[in-house]
Structure 1
Amino acid sequence: MPAKFGRRAILATGMAALAYAGAASSQTMPVSIGHDLQLLVSAVPAKGGRTLEVSSPSFAKGGDIPLASTQYGENRFPGLAWTAGPKGTRSYVVVVQGMLGQDGAAEAGTSIHLVLYNLPAGITSLPAGMTQLPQGAAYGPNVHGPAAAYAGPHTHDASRHAYHAQVFALDTTLGNAASTNFDALKKAMAGHVLASGDLVGFASKPASTAASTPIKIETGLLTGAAGRDPGVAVYKGIPYAAPPVGPLRWKAPAAPLAWDGVRKADAFGAACPQPGGEMARGMTQSEDCLTLNVWTGAAPASGEKRPVYVWIYGGGFIGGTGASPEFDGEGLAKKGVVVVTFNYRVGVLGFLATPELSRESGHAASGNYGLMDDIAALQWVQRNIAAFGGDPSKVTIGGQSAGAGSVGFLSMSPLAKGLFRAGIAESHARYPRDTELRYLSVSWRPLATAEQAGEKYAAEHGAKSLADLRAMPWQKLIEGSATIDSGVETGSDGKPPLFRPVVDGWVIPQSYWDTYQSGTQNQVAYVAGNNKDETGAVPETAFAGLRASKVPPRAGMPQTSVTVAQFQASARRKFGPLADEFLKLYPAASDEEAALQNNASARDNSRISTWLWGTLWRKGNGLPLHTYFWTHAQPGPSHDTRGAFHGSEIPYAFNSLDAVNLPWTAEDRRIAETMSSYWANIIKTGDPNGAGPNGTDLPEWPAYSTQIPQVMELGDRFAPIPVASPEKIDFWKRFYATQKAW
């Protein structure tokens, strides 16, 4: 349980923290409204010293208040929550005060940034971004005047100053005089405080950023923009290849074009053409889309050599953009990593194969233009990342879903050899005989099959030649491209997307199975994992809704079994002669039991499949290998319906919570700090273990073992767990042995 502080200890906490922050100049307290010599918790102590626990979804106790919650940023209220007051509580008062002195000295005084009074006794939280008060509550005076709304920190020097978010439980309500006069507020509160609490955060005046200083890369000079934290510079929309238009459509990426003058890299580039706007996040779409974005905390011309993380988005190889807020690189940049995201061609523009394209290529290959974009982006990083303070010899690539599949394919591609030293695959790595692999976007296609499908697609769009296809507007070309490949037998209704990577003998020389059996994958460290509520598993809170739903499952996706009839029919279709044994291992006599066993079997399958994948990977690679199982559900509307869904780990790994509009809690922030520290360590050393938040050691993440079937749980807990029981591992092994290797 958090320690409880008296009024002297509260001041001492501020003093100690400020002393730790280093020497600073004191700000002089103006003699005006919005300032007071004392912290209110010292001026009006609680009866008997009773305390409330106060937290914020935007910053941890003793942490930095986000720039967005200061007057240098968006002046956005950070949100507060507190434990309920004792019996007899009639109202709450919330006051935010900043310490003007360098050491919290009382004579330096305080600035007042928020006064809220007469909050109803039933209210124990205020949301981040609050613009409307609860009914009955009123504003008091702060630095912006009487009865004023939230005024964020506005420190006048670069030192870290303490800001106290104080909450008071009163046995009374206050009169209107409290709206204009802080002394009147104190007098009205005296003797009526039943309990109080204090959350201390820190803020400082933003330093000037490196973003406005032009840096030189191979194609010219450019400037960027400051991040939410001005210590991080962001460079957006940098071309890494020429626009793949006209005769360059369905060609390997060409060299980027140079520019004159200084390019202002402060806006994301267009998303690559894709059907629908959901995965493009409503952004403009254009074939001129091969751009990337860089986040760095390194100073220009500093000669720093920071490790680099290149992120590849998911989206089933049919959509996506490197500009998604979940991929915001600022959190990792603050941990010493240079982060790169980029766009690559998707759908028909990224993965069309035809005999004519194969003949034209010079390699008798076609269909992997999106993967060639990945390689071109990594080559650009090798040539240019030093200008951003990055070390081209310390590149890690990462991705989720189709992006994780790209990490896997690049690890198998001789064309990517030497371009990265580690890979992070979030929701991809599965045993090649696992039938679940077949309906995923990473279930590669043989070249001949892909060419036949490409010829058929061209004919359906009225094209008789490659010239016709290249002359066709992309808007017409992508019509109907979000379709499935119905010819792949998966043992379920799940089917892969039509446009996906191709084992072409050039970019991808061999299948998963043949690559791992021959040990010819690139020598890189690797991290791979899965999520609790994906590949057919859902949170228990979603069962009733799924049973009541009349909407059919999305085309190509496996159906979640939430009734006995569904569960048994699915088992018999998938397992055939092994179905009875499966149903004994996962018995269900009611719809509720069927839904629970659906989840249990789906999660066992994921963990066992990835563990067995590791046995193959290990044949040709002895570098660090770690696996994980993500279990935490995001807050907000998806919590009960989707749980720890496919991709839900991303903002925690990036520590990008401040870029994503959800009601994050203090627990979410703690998890994100831990998760992103693991990721930063992987990027720095290839091993997740080491220092975590505040310099403490992270919970030990055991390396993968072919002899010990375990996996590291990340999310709700951080500890190793068994992959599954021995009898279930044995069953899945025997089932996989009956299936074709992919």
Structure 2
Amino acid sequence: MSGSFADTPQIESKNAPVISLQNQGKIQGIFDRNLVIFKGVPYASPPVQSFRWLPPQPVQKWQGIKETTRFAPICSQKATSWDTDPALKNTSEDCLYLNIWAPKAFFDHPQDQHLYPVMVWIHGGAFVSGGSSLEIYNPSALAQQGIVVVSFNYRLGRFGFFAHPALKQESEEDQWANYGLMDQIAALKWVKNNIISFGGDSNNVTVFGESAGGASIISLMTITDAKGLFDKAIIQSGTGHSKAFPLTPQNQAEAIGINFAQKHHILSSGVDALQELRSLPTDYIIDDLNIQNLQPNLFAGLIIDQTLLTQSLEEAYVKGDFYPVPLLIGDTDGDGLLLSKTSLADLAKDLHTTTEAINHIYNPDNKKSESSIIHQLIADTQILEPTRLLAHQVASKNKPVYRYRFSYIADAARSYSSFGATHASEIPYIFDNLSKAYRSVSNQDHAMAKAIMMSWVNFAKNGNPSVQGFPIFLPINQAPEQLLHFGMDGIKFEKDPFKNRLDFIESIFTKKNSKNKQDIPVNKNLPKYPTR
């Protein structure tokens, strides 16, 4: 397509290595110290025009050598008021590209045939925002530890998650709706087929993602097409099976799609409607959708499409309908994000409990403010209790599962962090990119970043996140109530200090007398907290 990122000019060979990709063509990256970096590598054809709302299509082969030295645009979206990363100004529907950071040693000594573990990052953003090229996600420090790191874009918002009766008519065999998940699977298949050319071990692939990225991994573990595409997983504040984030049934998603079409004066539901929808300008599809404006009547999010997702994630994990892998999973002590004001009384009503019961657990000495209790309740309801539950469900399949908690607050943020380590605050530590998040960084901050990054690296390398010089990290089948705590007073392997709180939330979410846990009704009145 003329003028699209897919038309990146071809170049003659330079000093950087040239890689031949399966069924695509040749690419050439760039040296960066002891790494070789490839940016903007296509893993699917641009999903534009007649390809909008289709599964990812194969890349068209090219002749010559494609220069892959700059990031592709991230997928179309509207930035929020707090988003300042320059990458968010470069968006397009033509966005299905990935990036690779590989140790240069592989290319210097190809005869050694030493393959490196692979880590694949899935970004968060409530399935409406984010991208692989944000500065905070630069994985150079991870790759420096002998890891091949891959990041990729996937379709977001209504481009990535959309249902309409006209789409059902177009596909006779499948009900397509979760295009963003299809993109993720396509990217992982690309990694499986091509990563050996970059020195990566296709039999040692670890996916890691935060928030919606973690929810994606939770979803992928239930999808047959994703089975075998990754060998280990790291889920950071994932929310995919939480009762606060129920999936949307197909019929409801189609009704939402009809609402959106009618807003843009598309009234029919046949082939003509689909042609009109695909003809809408990009900005009309975005339509101000973002984390600050999730438009529940116009955007469905993850959909039970009966093709990829055949049931709720809650039900899938209760029934054991998932493909378990070794897992590192955790949260932050101040997780959750509340964008609308609420009261403790309202939360108690939504949770079918009382303020007295909540205060008994969360404020036994009557010293906490209501806002502090609300934030703790949100964190536990949205992420912490579902994380604990998921950890034990995966461990029940005889896979090693390690649980962590992050409560460290950077020196520069301590004056304004009233409710603990906020949602997503662990990310710059894992990528060791603290200077991208804070104006000043202390030695203690740097030490914490090195420790948590090496824990992730060791898990990717050998399945054990223990780091020399720190407490031994045991899986929960050996220490069911313990976790590795990255906290203000150091790193400790200890009993979960929030156990009583999470037991309380579990008791609310579980019908004690239910014969089948999967019959627990979803409380759709729970406050919606977007993920980052």
Q: For this structure pair, what is the TM-score category when the shorter chain's length is used for normalisation?
A: 0.7 to 0.9
Q: Within 2, Cα distance between the matches of 1:307 and 1:405?
A: 23
User: In structure 2, what is the equivalent of residue 474 of structure 1?
Assistant: 282
Q: CA deviation at 1:335?
A: 0.8
Q: Within 1, Cα distance between the matches of 2:286 and 2:71?
A: 23
User: In structure 2, what is the equivalent of residue 713 of structure 1?
Assistant: 485
User: In structure 1, what is the equivalent of residue 20 of structure 2?
Assistant: 216
Does the CA contact (< 8 Å) of 2:352 and 2:508 recur in 1? no
Q: CA deviation at 1:641?
A: 4.0
Using structure 2 for the length normalisation, give the TM-score: 0.84
Is 1:318 the counterpart of 2:128? The answer is yes
Is 1:299 the counterpart of 2:106? The answer is yes
User: In structure 2, what is the equivalent of residue 740 of structure 1?
Assistant: 521
Q: CA deviation at 1:256?
A: 1.3
Cα 1:504/1:378, change in 2 over 3 Å: same
User: In structure 2, what is the equivalent of residue 518 of structure 1?
Assistant: 319
Describe the superposition over 1:87-143 as per-residue Cα deviations: whole angstroms up to 9, x where unpaired.
xxxxxxxxxxxxxxxxxxxxxxxxxxxxxxxxxxxxxxxxxxxxxxxxxxxxxxxxx
* Secondary structure of the structure 1 residue equivalent to 2:20: strand
User: In structure 2, what is the equivalent of residue 157 of structure 1?
Assistant: none
Q: Within 2, Cα distance between the matches of 1:474 and 1:731?
A: 45
Q: How does 1:210-359 map to 2 (within 5 A)?
A: 212-218=16-22, 219-227=24-32, 230-276=33-79, 278=83, 281-297=87-103, 298-300=105-107, 301-302=110-111, 303-359=113-169
User: In structure 2, what is the equivalent of residue 169 of structure 1?
Assistant: none
Does the CA contact (< 8 Å) of 1:330 and 1:656 recur in 2? no
Q: Within 1, Cα distance between the matches of 2:50 and 2:70?
A: 27
Q: How does 1:87-486 map to 2 (within 5 A)?
A: 212-218=16-22, 219-227=24-32, 230-276=33-79, 278=83, 281-297=87-103, 298-300=105-107, 301-302=110-111, 303-429=113-239, 432=241, 435=243, 437-438=244-245, 443-464=246-267, 465-482=273-290, 483-484=293-294, 486=296
Q: CA deviation at 1:293?
A: 0.5
Describe the superposition over 1:53-88 as per-residue Cα deviations: whole angstroms up to 9, x where unpaired.
xxxxxxxxxxxxxxxxxxxxxxxxxxxxxxxxxxxx
Q: Within 2, Cα distance between the matches of 1:582 and 1:602?
A: 12
Q: Within 1, Cα distance between the matches of 2:136 and 2:399?
A: 29
Does the CA contact (< 8 Å) of 1:585 and 1:728 recur in 2? yes
Question: In the alignment, residue 272 of structure 1 is paired with which amino acid?
Answer: C
Q: Within 2, Cα distance between the matches of 1:353 and 1:672?
A: 42
Q: Within 1, Cα distance between the matches of 2:86 and 2:75?
A: 8
Cα 1:601/1:282, change in 2 over 3 Å: closer
Does the CA contact (< 8 Å) of 2:483 and 2:494 recur in 1? yes
Cα 1:741/1:363, change in 2 over 3 Å: farther
Match of residue 722, structure 1, among 479, 486, 495? 495
Does the CA contact (< 8 Å) of 1:608 and 1:723 recur in 2? no
Q: CA deviation at 1:635?
A: 4.3
Cα 1:292/1:715, change in 2 over 3 Å: farther
Does the CA contact (< 8 Å) of 1:274 and 1:478 recur in 2? yes
Q: Which moved more, 1:455-464 or 1:307-316?
A: 455-464
Cα 1:414/1:618, change in 2 over 3 Å: same
Q: CA deviation at 1:463?
A: 2.6
User: In structure 1, what is the equivalent of residue 7 of structure 2?
Assistant: none
Q: Within 1, Cα distance between the matches of 2:309 and 2:355?
A: 35
Cα 1:269/1:448, change in 2 over 3 Å: same
Is 1:583 the counterpart of 2:359? The answer is yes
Is 1:594 the counterpart of 2:370? The answer is yes
Q: Which moved more, 1:358-367 or 1:498-507?
A: 358-367
Q: Within 1, Cα distance between the matches of 2:287 and 2:498?
A: 47
The runs of at least 4 consecutive aligned structure 1 residues that moved more than 6 Å come to 588-591
Question: In the alignment, residue 29 of structure 2 is paired with which amino acid?
Answer: G
Cα 1:225/1:586, change in 2 over 3 Å: same
Question: In the alignment, residue 299 of structure 1 is paired with which amino acid?
Answer: F
Q: How does 1:29-108 map to 2 (within 5 A)?
A: none
Question: In the alignment, residue 393 of structure 1 is paired with which amino acid?
Answer: N
Match of residue 334, structure 2, among 501, 508, 533? 533
Question: In the alignment, residue 481 of structure 2 is paired with which amino acid?
Answer: P
User: In structure 2, what is the equivalent of residue 665 of structure 1?
Assistant: 442
Does the CA contact (< 8 Å) of 1:625 and 1:704 recur in 2? yes
Q: Which moved more, 1:593-602 or 1:348-357?
A: 593-602
Question: In the alignment, residue 20 of structure 2 is paired with which amino acid?
Answer: K
User: In structure 2, what is the equivalent of residue 54 of structure 1?
Assistant: none
Q: Within 2, Cα distance between the matches of 1:472 and 1:661?
A: 40
Which of 1 and 2 has greater Rg? Answer: 1
Q: Within 2, Cα distance between the matches of 1:726 and 1:379?
A: 39
Using structure 1 for the length normalisation, give the TM-score: 0.61
* Secondary structure of the structure 2 residue equivalent to 1:718: strand
Question: In the alignment, residue 519 of structure 1 is paired with which amino acid?
Answer: G
Q: CA deviation at 1:638?
A: 7.8
Does the CA contact (< 8 Å) of 1:233 and 1:296 recur in 2? yes
Describe the superposition over 1:274-326 as per-residue Cα deviations: whole angstroms up to 9, x where unpaired.
02373774332111111110001143245331111110111110011100112
Does the CA contact (< 8 Å) of 1:529 and 1:629 recur in 2? yes
Cα 1:525/1:452, change in 2 over 3 Å: same
Does the CA contact (< 8 Å) of 1:588 and 1:597 recur in 2? no
Cα 1:667/1:249, change in 2 over 3 Å: same
Cα 1:725/1:635, change in 2 over 3 Å: closer
Does the CA contact (< 8 Å) of 1:444 and 1:501 recur in 2? yes
Does the CA contact (< 8 Å) of 2:38 and 2:101 recur in 1? yes
Describe the superposition over 1:23-78 as per-residue Cα deviations: whole angstroms up to 9, x where unpaired.
xxxxxxxxxxxxxxxxxxxxxxxxxxxxxxxxxxxxxxxxxxxxxxxxxxxxxxxx
Cα 1:392/1:580, change in 2 over 3 Å: same
Describe the superposition over 1:452-507 as per-residue Cα deviations: whole angstroms up to 9, x where unpaired.
101111111223400001111112221143343557xxxxxxxxx93411111211
Q: CA deviation at 1:527?
A: 1.6
What residue ranges of structure 2 are gaps of 5+ in the alignment?
1-13, 268-272, 512-519, 524-532
* Secondary structure of the structure 1 residue equivalent to 2:259: helix
Cα 1:534/1:518, change in 2 over 3 Å: closer
Is 1:703 the counterpart of 2:475? The answer is yes
Q: CA deviation at 1:612?
A: 2.5
Question: In the alignment, residue 479 of structure 1 is paired with which amino acid?
Answer: D
Question: In the alignment, residue 574 of structure 1 is paired with which amino acid?
Answer: D
Q: Within 2, Cα distance between the matches of 1:600 and 1:593?
A: 11
Greater relative CO, 1 or 2 (CA 8 Å, sep 6+): 2
Q: Which moved more, 1:588-597 or 1:316-325?
A: 588-597
Q: Within 2, Cα distance between the matches of 1:272 and 1:363?
A: 28
Q: How many residues align?
A: 484
Q: Within 2, Cα distance between the matches of 1:575 and 1:664?
A: 40
Cα 1:427/1:641, change in 2 over 3 Å: same
* Secondary structure of the structure 2 residue equivalent to 1:252: coil
Q: Within 1, Cα distance between the matches of 2:400 and 2:479?
A: 16
User: In structure 2, what is the equivalent of residue 647 of structure 1?
Assistant: 424
User: In structure 2, what is the equivalent of residue 186 of structure 1?
Assistant: none
What residue ranges of structure 1 are gaps of 5+ in the alignment?
1-209, 488-496, 537-552
Cα 1:422/1:641, change in 2 over 3 Å: same
User: In structure 1, what is the equivalent of residue 453 of structure 2?
Assistant: 676
Q: Which moved more, 1:507-516 or 1:390-399?
A: 507-516
Does the CA contact (< 8 Å) of 1:423 and 1:527 recur in 2? yes
Q: Within 1, Cα distance between the matches of 2:360 and 2:328?
A: 33
Describe the superposition over 1:635-693 as per-residue Cα deviations: whole angstroms up to 9, x where unpaired.
4468614752111111211223365563122111111111111101111122212xx4x
Does the CA contact (< 8 Å) of 2:324 and 2:394 recur in 1? no
CA RMSD of aligned residues (A): 2.7
- Aligned-pair identity in percent equals 28
Q: CA deviation at 1:371?
A: 0.5
Cα 1:581/1:486, change in 2 over 3 Å: same
Q: Within 2, Cα distance between the matches of 1:408 and 1:280?
A: 30
